Amino acid sequence: MTFYVAFLLPFFIATWLLYCASCLVKDYLRARKIGIPIILLPIDPGNPLWQSIDRKIIAVVKRFPFGSGTWTRYQWRGWEIPDRYKTHQELGDAFIFVTPGNSWLQLCDAEACADVFRRRDDFPRPVETAYLRHRKVTIPCFNEQVSQLVWAESIRQAKGMLEYWTSKATINTVAADTRTLSLHVLSSAGFGKSYPFQSFDDSATAGAASSYRDSFKLILDDCIPLVVLGRKNLEKWYRWLPARWKALHQATVTFSQYMKQVYKEEQRNLLENKNDGNNLVTSLIRASNEMANSTSADGTPESKGTQGGLTEEEIYGNMFIFSFAGHDTTAHVLAFAIVLLSTRPDVQDWIAEELQHVLGEQEEAVEESYNAIFPRLKRCLAVL
């Protein structure tokens, strides 16, 4: 048995490497016909397994004398951020990554990009039908009612954060506290769960204040293993997972249970013609049901192709994407804005002048005055 394993394992590895090499050669020969600069990469940057380990591998390879080449420059997520415009300066407005899996065209020309989007037959999108269906259902959910929830919860969380900060001589948790603020706003506006602000210092020593909130936070913080392995594989391989991934699996179970509960409650409310909430997940469920039950102009059901509603799993997936996309981005913008404002007293005075003019004496009613106040805060919007 040991002999077979010792023989077959290298055989399979060699076969796989030969297959990848042949795919790379085929893609290279195909890309040459385009007539633009080519960069060869040994691994497809869209490979989920590679995305979970790319930064660690690249960091090790860079320590070697040969570690400053093309491979370590482009073969990792986010390479374009430090690279900026350098590669386009070197190679021109268009170049292509050729990998064993796919070829990735990189464009830096506004007219060329617009032309690609116009020529849908020449540049087909493999998921366009599904995309249009999801887009048609989700867009109506981002409405003024949800914006009112975001406004009110943001003010409540900001007041809590300010109260905590003013009670301390120094603050070393700006970034962590803005992540908490962002998490709580998402939790309230997205899922209808509201929590008082709790600083990073306090939460680090406190127990599990809420299984839902802590699960939500853990999923957002450790989403890469979840995306790469999938929820089912985390459950299947639970016994062999590291402790951190076991906690992630438990968080997915807890969060999934809550989502299913919300879904069932909203479906029951729809049957009983009730409207108990206007958060994002309930709005998404209602919009999906309305789309699934809608009819076209000739009276036929619009339930196929781009017209159908979303499945239960698709609703969960959209909520995860909304949360993942909004959590860190919001937290980082707030953290940078606060730190930069601390260095510019003149801008602080400029903003305070606008707040005093707009709010006047109605500070206690600010949470309920989104429509009257938010559009007038031009200077605050300019800072962000």
356-369 average pLDDT score: 77
More confident residue, 351 or 65: 351
More confident residue, 152 or 47: 152
**Residue whose entry in the numeric block shows the structure tokens 């020529």:** 119
- Tell whether the model's pLDDT for residue 26 goes beyond 60: yes
What pLDDT does 128 receive?
A: 62
Give, to the nearest 10 degrees, the angle between helix 211-221 and helix 174-191: 120
Question: In a 10 Å sphere around its CB, with 0-12 CB exposed, 13-18 middle and 19+ buried, how is residue 272 labelled?
Answer: exposed
Share of the chain above pLDDT 90, in %: 27
**Confidence bin at 131 (pLDDT 50/70/90):** confident
Cβ(62)–Cβ(72) below 8 Å: yes
**Confidence bin at 98 (pLDDT 50/70/90):** very high
252-264 average pLDDT score: 84
- Tell whether the model's pLDDT for residue 224 goes beyond 80: no
275-286 average pLDDT score: 80
Indicate the SS3 state at residue 182: helix
Indicate the SS3 state at residue 136: helix
**Confidence bin at 276 (pLDDT 50/70/90):** low
Q: What's the pTM value of the predicted model, to 2 decimals?
A: 0.70
Question: In a 10 Å sphere around its CB, with 0-12 CB exposed, 13-18 middle and 19+ buried, how is residue 267 labelled?
Answer: middle
Question: In a 10 Å sphere around its CB, with 0-12 CB exposed, 13-18 middle and 19+ buried, how is residue 300 labelled?
Answer: exposed
152-167 average pLDDT score: 92
What pLDDT does 4 receive?
A: 58
